[in-house]
Amino acid sequence: MKFYNKQHKYYCGIDLHARKKYICIMNQAGKILFHKNVETNPEVLFRVIFPYLDDIVIGVECMFAWYWIADVCEEHQIPFVLGHALYMKAIHGGKTKNDKIDSKKIAALLRGGNFPLAYAYPKKLRSTRDLLRRRMYLVHKRAELLAHIINTNTQYNLPLFEKRIKHKSNRAGVPDRFTDPSVKKTIEIDLSLIDVYDELIRDVELYLEKHAKAHDANTFYRLRSVPGIGKTLALVIIYEINDIHRFNRVQNFASYARLIRPQKESNGKFAGKGNKKIGNHHLKWAISEAVVLMKRTSEDAKKYLARLERKHSKGKALGIFSHKLGRAIYFMLKNNQAFDMNKFIQS
């Protein structure tokens, strides 16, 4: 956990919502200079903080609407920090909670050097990362439609599909399996939607691949040197990490990618497990998917994973392998090196 501990003359805590925001500004002595609920508007924000522009920092708890405040601060060269929502227990753990109290607590955390930091993603790449995440949403919706067709086929006790219907060439004649007109119409609707999703996903992937190559072609192709990492997984890893140098140690990266199992200890005794869901679940998914695909495409990886399974359980072996691959990706990106299977297995 990282904290913002730089000193300023003024500290501005904002409890942000879609239409309103509660602003609290206090000085180094802890005296409140401004504490009001105002409209969510860049002009209003700049008018409020203008008297304190000589040395002020603005802190906001991480929620979906923080982009515009970060952009305003970047435009006017004002220090901006984003608070990690799960770590801000001083706000969420209070007996009484409202916007006025929350904004004061945010300002107080900034002033005391106890403001837990989240990563404020750079503006120039933010929209592309969000588009990549939107692609995942489209893929999930497409998968739901495919699952519905398969479940309906099972529901009416029809023979299993001989080929995978996720491929368009294998979907011919699927509605004709069903004799009931309403069921047949339902399947036709599902197939029509799947065709639309196929086109949208293909268009998004071409767009993202083009932008990734323009942004950092070397990293894109370097990641694809890993057996099992294709275009989509390389894109996810690039845009979810952005800058590998923001992680001082490989342990920090492994924790961010949810590749470790956090444990709590007190007085030398086991005291339970930590929150393993803190981190980037998109990056966790990409690395876990790469492990499965590497096992399928590489004989060396398959043999190495089999050795791990003989020594540990199957689930623990996959966890060890995922952690090892995550560490390999970290050093690949940090040292600008391609993937080396022999080095990966022997290390």
Dihedral angle of Cα 177, 178, 182, 184, to the nearest 10 degrees: 0
Q: Strand, helix or coil at 159?
A: coil
pTM of the model: 0.88
- Residue count of the chain, please give it: 347
Distance, CA of 316 to CA of 283 (rounded, Å): 19
Name residue, tokens 């966890």. 319
Q: Which residues, including other chains, have CB under 8 Å from residue 218's CB and lie 6 or more apart?
A: 336
Chain-centroid distance, C-alpha 17: 21
Dihedral angle of Cα 92, 58, 70, 86, to the nearest 10 degrees: -20
Do the beta carbons of residue 145 and residue 190 sit within 8 Å? yes
pLDDT reported for residue 78: 95
Report which secondary-structure segment, H or E, holds 74. helix 67-75
pLDDT reported for residue 174: 94
Distance, CA of 275 to CA of 262 (rounded, Å): 7
pLDDT reported for residue 90: 65
Q: Homologous superfamily of 3-118 in CATH? A: Ribonuclease H-like superfamily/Ribonuclease H (3.30.420.10)
Tokens of 102: 């929350």
Q: In one letter, which amino acid is 17?
A: H
Distance, CA of 4 to CA of 322 (rounded, Å): 31
Do the beta carbons of residue 87 and residue 115 sit within 8 Å? no
Q: Which residues, including other chains, have CB under 8 Å from residue 274's CB and lie 6 or more apart?
A: 262, 263, 264
Query: Whose CA is closest to 326, among 336, 339, 315?
Result: 339
Q: What is the DSSP code (8-state) at residue 278?
A: -
φ and ψ of 333, to 5 deg: -75, -35
Structural domain boundaries of the chain? 3-118, 125-215, 231-346
Distance, CA of 267 to CA of 168 (rounded, Å): 60
pLDDT reported for residue 346: 85
Which residue positions in the chain have pLDDT lower than 50? none
Tokens of 219: 């990293």
Q: What is the pLDDT of residues 288-328, one digit of tens each?
A: 999 999 999 999 999 999 999 999 989 899 999 999 999 99
Q: What is the pLDDT of residues 31-84, one digit of tens each?
A: 999 999 999 999 999 999 999 999 999 999 998 899 999 999 999 999 999 999
pLDDT reported for residue 276: 72
266 forms beta bridges with 269
